[in-house]
């Protein structure tokens, strides 16, 4: 621990308070000729009994902040995709997928639900930060090699299958969120009906 940190620590403050008590005893004539030992001893005792300095708990992003980060990453992903040339079939599937991702990350719709559901938020984050860019990048790299060694399965076939699988996964996620909202609505309906029945 640095000297500046120690001077502001609980141990130093407690020791200083006890050392001042030792000086007060000295001025009262109770410490005698051994007053330096008394003051030092009281300081040491105070420093020993003081609670240890507690390190600050690290601050991690809240779910809402994480959601904002994923939304910003979706914008960066969109910029990247604009620079990639894709065949029409894959481009259409990718457009559908990006629309779905944007809808799920819409701040006025799914944000509150996603902020309460870290697993689904992770699934969206993985799709934006890993699954989509890896699928597109793998297509671009494989397409280059296919031009050198034709006759293999077209790489766009794999890309379209990957994008379809992602779209299916995220559509399921959207359905789960919709079901959660429906359950919450039904629960509120029951609560209001039971409350009304209880006061009638």
Residue-level pLDDT at 15: 78
- Regarding pTM above 0.85, the answer is no
DSSP annotation of 117 = -
Categorize the per-residue pLDDT at 131 as very low, low, confident or very high, splitting at 50, 70 and 90: very high
User: Which tens digits make up the pLDDT trace of 23-32?
Assistant: 887 777 776 7
- Asked whether the beta carbons of 124 and 66 are under 8 A apart, the reply is no
Q: Provide the pLDDT for residue 38.
A: 78
- State what percent of residues in the chain have pLDDT above 70: 88
User: For residue 146, how many other CB atoms are within 10 A of its CB?
Assistant: 16
Question: Phi, psi at residue 89, to the nearest 5°?
Answer: -60, -50
pLDDT, tens only, 99-112: 999 988 886 666 67
DSSP class of 33? G
What integer is the mean pLDDT of 113-138? 90
Lowest model confidence (mean pLDDT) among 66-80, 101-115, 132-146: 101-115
């Amino acid at each position: 621990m640095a000297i500046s940190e120690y001077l502001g620590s609980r141990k130093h403050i407690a020791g200083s308070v006890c050392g001042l008590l030792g000086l007060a005893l000295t001025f009262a004539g109770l410490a005698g000729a051994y007053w330096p030992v008394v003051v030092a001893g009281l300081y040491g005792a105070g420093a020993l009994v003081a609670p240890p300095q507690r390190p600050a708990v690290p601050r991690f992003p809240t779910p809402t902040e994480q959601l904002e980060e994923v939304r910003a990453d979706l914008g960066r992903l969109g910029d990247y995709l604009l620079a990639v040339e894709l065949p029409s079939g894959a481009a259409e599937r990718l457009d559908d997928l990006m629309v779905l991702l944007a809808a799920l990350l819409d701040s006025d719709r799914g944000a509150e639900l996603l902020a309460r559901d870290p697993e689904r938020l992770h699934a969206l984050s993985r799709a934006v930060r890993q699954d989509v860019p890896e699928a597109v990048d793998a297509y671009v790299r494989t397409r280059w090699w296919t031009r050198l060694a034709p006759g293999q399965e077209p790489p766009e076939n794999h890309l379209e299958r990957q994008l379809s699988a992602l779209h299916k996964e995220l559509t399921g996620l959207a359905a789960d969120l919709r079901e959660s909202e429906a359950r919450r609505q039904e629960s509120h309906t029951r609560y209001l009906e039971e409350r009304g029945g209880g006061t009638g």
